[in-house]
Amino acid sequence: MVVLKTSTPPVPSGNKVNNGFPYSNGAIKPHFTPSLNSFINLDQGDPEVFAPYWRKKSEECTVVIKGSDLMSYMSDMTNVCWFMLPELRDAIRRLHHVVGNASAGMDKHIVVGTGSTQLFQAALFALSRSSDPSNHNPINVVAAAPYYSEYQDEVEVLRSGLYRWGGDARVYDKNEEYIEVVTAPNNPCGSIRRAVAMARSEGDELGKLIHDFAYYWPQYTPITEEYDHDVMLFTFSKCTGHAGSRIGWAIVKDIEVARKMTRFIQMSSIGVSKESQIRVAKIIGVICDSYQKIGSSLQSDDLFFEHSKRMLRERWDKLRAVVDKSNIFSLDKYPKNYCNFTRQNSETYPAFAWIKCCGAIEDCESYLRSLKVYSRGGKRFGVDGKYARVSLLCRDEVFNEFLTRISNARLQV
């Protein structure tokens, strides 16, 4: 919770949205409760599943911002990312040290952005400059299918002369410079990915990599190694569920790439909200402090990653039990791996279920819509329409209604 010590007028009733969260004037918005005739939206990965945990931590995460605070554009002019607050930079380094999922030491440069979407655009801008000054062709951006459905739109929306969408990295065969986006765990299917276009020719100097680690956190997947790639993207939305704060960060090796990314963000938004940065730094501090108290009075369910992992595991267990009895749907299985963070073997519990429809059903998204469930079809991810992505990050009542609807669905044989 952020307490603003300013004279903010109450939000007009016409601006209120019925989604179960507080208004800025302190009133509580009622939840939407699904009924038999209502549609449920599992298309987007809005991480409401973590809200109950943070309600319990409300006081610990409170930040007070005075009316005279944080007024300047500037934060730390000695840093490459001059609009990033030092306390956020230090909190990010601390978080990665605690979790062990990425190398974020003093030899790396951290660039903060308005979510990882802005950082993705900034990375494309920074990496798309050709090493050959005479080459004015846009660089190809590729990702292995099934790839995140928004990559193509994000590449094409600006109609940039610097880069263009190049399609599936698995079949990319042009003798031209390219940028490959590697998503691990992958969105939509949850698997851990490696570069595939570059792997086909060892020593390939035409390819550059962006690693999107939005879901590489202990609640979703075992932390098997501390990654140390050239450009790594993370987002607070999927780390803790605070999607509304709109904070992401990139860990970058090359200072010139970090400078170009910072320049892009400067040109597009003149920095990133300091109120959000302060809030994120505070919440990260609460998480890291809790892990230093292990062995004292804290139970495992008081620890964020353990709590959220348990919630996702319970959802996956329920979903698999329903799907196992279904003659319509199937799900991928994930291998167990040793997690360096939890120090035990663990399964993967992705934020999304990558569901496949069986038999004669060719369009899984349309079939789910007939059950009044919004999903995202496989063709958006560059694969067959028999697949659909379903978010598991919704509230309990929405998830339970989804289980009821798919458990009652049967193919006529």
Per residue in 187-196, pLDDT (tens digit) is: 999 999 999 9
- Does residue 177 lie in a domain region? yes
pLDDT tens for 367-383 read 999 999 999 999 999 99
Give the domain extent around 398: 16-54+302-408
Mean model confidence pLDDT for the chain:
89
* DSSP 3-state of 92: helix
CATH of residue 22: 3.90.1150.10
**Residue 219 shares a structural domain with residue 351:** no
Q: Is 123 exposed, middle or buried (0-12, 13-18, 19+ CB in 10 A)?
A: buried
Burial of 325 (0-12, 13-18, 19+ CB in 10 A): exposed
Do 96 and 228 lie in one domain? The reply is: yes
On whether the CB atoms of residues 367 and 357 are closer than 8 A, the answer is: yes
Indicate whether 282 and 318 sit together in one domain: no
Tell me: the pLDDT tens digits for 218-270? Answer: 999 999 999 999 999 999 999 999 999 999 999 999 999 999 999 999 999 99
pLDDT tens per residue across span 277-295 = 999 999 999 999 999 876 5
End position of a domain, from candidates 223, 257, 291:
291
Q: How far apart are the first and last CA of the chain?
A: 53
Q: Which of 146, 203, 132, 141 is nearest to 172 (CA)?
A: 141
Domain count, the chain: 2
Q: Same structural domain for residues 173 and 286?
A: yes
pLDDT for 32: 64
Report whether pLDDT(298) > 70.
Answer: no
pLDDT on residue 4: 40
List the CATH number of the domain containing 236: 3.40.640.10
- Same domain, residue pair 93 and 195: yes
CA distance linking residue 399 with residue 258, whole number of Å: 40
What are the CA-CA distances from residue 316 to residues 135, 247, 332 (Å)? 49, 28, 11
Distances (CA, A) of 17 to 48, 49, 50: 15, 18, 20
| Structural domain includes residue 79 | no
Pull the structure tokens for residue 343: 């120090």
Residue 35: inside a domain: yes
Residue ending a domain, among 291, 311, 336, is 291
What pLDDT, on a 0 to 100 scale, did the predictor assign at position 12? 35
Of the candidates 256, 291, 326, which is a domain's last residue? 291
For residues 185 and 223, state if they share a domain. Answer: yes
Whether 71 shows a pLDDT value over 70: the answer reads yes
Task: Give me the helix-helix angle, 255-269 and 115-127, nearest 10°.
Answer: 120
This prediction has a pTM of 0.90
Query: Does residue 70 belong to any structural domain of this protein?
Result: no
